Amino acid sequence: MNISAIDVFCGIGGLSYGLKKAGISVLAGIDLDETCRYAYEKNVGAEFILKDISQIQGDEINKSYWSDSNQVKILAGCAPCQPFSTHSNKVKNRKKTKKWRLISEFMRLTDELSPDIVTMENVPNLEKQEIFKDFVTFLKRNNYFVSYSNVYCPDYGIPQTRTRLVLLASRFGEIELIPNTTEKGNYKTVKETIGELEQIYAGQTSQQDPLHKACSFTDINMARIKQSKPGGYWRDWDESLLLPCHKKETGKSYPSVYGRMQWDEPSPTITTQFYNYGTGRFGHPEQDRALSLREGALLQTFPPDYEFIDPSNDGISIKRLGIHIGNAVPVKLAEIIGESILGHLESNHAK
């Protein structure tokens, strides 16, 4: 079979790279962030289309990439999840933001391209939104078989407790994600993933690996992490180290902020600020620092040789790379999606 995919909202290529690892040819990725181009093209080996999805018409893609009528066409995408995240529930007018409407643009592109397979990954909260229900209804009305479920990443060998909504749709027949590959008790741990990396200190960059770089600490944050226990809370600190919010009743609902991870467990969800000790349980299990960029990338299951930085550029922007890595679909999850699609096609395409 001649199987090929287009990746919408491709970023630095987590979804594309995983599909490629599974054995699917990825022809192009679409994104409006130019800073993602180098990593995407270098690692995926596909064209990076710098464009807003709302400015792309299906005819453009069909003429350039999907002109072969014998191709099995896959449209894949992970729209920016911030509008649908539970963290955004209190944001006023979030439904009026441009990012909220991106699911509708993905649906429009699906309509114009008529791909054989559609897959989308996002936060679990999207399932509750009318915009998602409209998309599922659209797919079914257009003769797609649709399945979707909330996937707990450790069940598929991914070393972080991320839960993601994964949708699969096919014109060929029933399609589902493959069964879990990892049983509880055998989940991949933080230690298995980053335990062998060189020891570094807060504010230090490894001489051997420029991506193994950790943010510096203020004196008070250094005092805080020294009193933090793996898997513990800010309640472990001396009262003099507490923030004003910790002393309020509302502050008690954020126990993992300023926390350390545990060696023998998967990591928490890697966010776009995983390098920041104060934004979650992103303290190293035993070193007095937050996660390095390399550690975040490995926990997102990017391979050690994935090239994130154009050598011709000077310096590394921790904030930018944090966004790139944290926003990515974990490569291993994308590979599982790819394997699910290929298994489905082997069973149904010849019928």
Assess if residue 127 is contained within a domain: yes
Assess if residue 282 is contained within a domain: no
Put simply, whether the predicted model's pTM sits higher than 0.75 gets the answer yes
Question: For the chain, how many structural domains are there in total?
Answer: 1
Assess if residue 65 is contained within a domain: yes
Assess if residue 199 is contained within a domain: no
Q: What share of the chain is helix, strand, coil (3-state, %, to 5)?
A: 40, 15, 45
Q: What is the pLDDT along the chain (351 residues), one digit of tens a residue?
A: 799 999 999 999 999 999 999 999 999 999 999 999 999 999 999 999 999 999 999 999 999 999 888 899 999 998 874 444 444 445 455 455 455 688 999 999 999 999 999 999 998 989 998 989 999 999 999 999 999 999 999 999 999 999 999 999 999 999 999 999 999 999 999 999 999 999 999 999 999 999 999 999 999 999 999 999 999 888 888 888 888 776 666 656 567 778 999 999 999 999 999 999 989 899 999 999 999 999 999 999 999 999 999 988 867 899 999 999 999 999 999 999 999 999 999 998 654
How much is the pLDDT for 114?
95
Strands (E) located in 24-162: 25-31, 47-50, 72-77, 117-122, 145-152
How much is the pLDDT for 229?
93
Assess if residue 260 is contained within a domain: no
Assess if residue 149 is contained within a domain: yes
Assess if residue 30 is contained within a domain: yes
How much is the pLDDT for 312?
85
How much is the pLDDT for 247?
67
Residues constituting the chain: 351
Per-residue DSSP letter, 289: S
- Among the listed residues 135, 115, 263, 260, the one whose alpha carbon sits nearest the alpha carbon of residue 187: 263
| Torsion sign, CA atoms 81, 84, 87, 91 | positive
Helix-helix angle 331-348:14-22, to 10 degrees: 40
How much is the pLDDT for 84?
41
Active-site residue set: 81
Instruction: Check if the beta carbon of residue 309 is closer than 8 Å to that of residue 211.
Output: yes
How much is the pLDDT for 67?
83
How much is the pLDDT for 168?
98
| CATH number, position 160 | 3.40.50.150
Q: Which long-range contacts (CB under 8 A, 24 or more apart) does 94-103 make?
A: 100/131, 101/54, 102/9, 102/53, 103/79, 103/131, 103/132, 103/135
Assess if residue 123 is contained within a domain: yes
With 0-12 CB in 10 A as exposed, 13-18 as middle and 19+ as buried, what is 128? exposed
User: What is the extent of the structural domain holding 338?
Assistant: 3-184+329-348
